[in-house]
Amino acid sequence: MTTGRRGRARSEQARHAILEATATLLAASGYEQLSVDRIATTAGVGKQTVYRWWSSKSAVIAECLFDGYVLADLIEPAKTGDARADVRSWLLALVDFLDDPKNAALFRALAAAASENREVSDRLYERFSGPLHTSLVECLRAGIRAGQVRDDAPVYAVADVLIGAVLHRALAHIAIPLGTADGVVDALFSGLAPAGRET
């Protein structure tokens, strides 16, 4: 857990209020509009209470990520034994999640915060990118074992492409039509199919 490393012990009630306020403001207004003043006002605490425990707004965001106040529920691919269907279902679920303007705004705000603060970047990877990448790699490896994906498939690169395809559009404010999601899956699995196997 990130702490301010100075001052007296924190009140858990105040800490909870500050983290809740930060998560709410980040999703509603974005990183640029977020400030310690606004966090303190929304949380109903003094500004010095925030600064006593965190050095900056990005430090508060890092703790929000660590404690699950943002990105609490990771959308991971299912494990039904059909790698293509599992990846498609995951991609459509993530597209649906990001179709909510608040969720898309939160991703953009987190990306902005991560670009300015290494701790936020590390927490974002620990909480979202890393586990998601691992889950996709495991899904593709299951496809290899089932004979649905060729043995030499570059599973790490494919996971990168899948995550990047979604986040690129989310960060660029571009909606992702369902047909585009299907097209990404079709293109990838056409290239991943074992020789002689129809996709």
Domain 12-67 fold is Arc Repressor Mutant, subunit A (1.10.10)
| Segments in the chain forming alpha helices (H) | 12-29, 36-43, 47-53, 57-67, 83-98, 101-116, 118-124, 130-145, 155-171, 178-192
Average of per-residue pLDDT across 20-39: 91
Question: 83-192 is classed in which CATH architecture?
Answer: Orthogonal Bundle (1.10)
The string of pLDDT tens digits covering residues 71-86 is 777 788 888 989 999 9
Distance CA 12, CA 6 (A): 16
Average of per-residue pLDDT across 39-57: 93
- Between 144 and 187, the more confident residue is 144
Distance CA 151, CA 42 (A): 53
Domain regions of the chain by residue span: 12-67, 83-192
The string of pLDDT tens digits covering residues 100-151 is 778 888 888 888 888 888 988 888 888 888 999 999 999 999 999 999 999 9
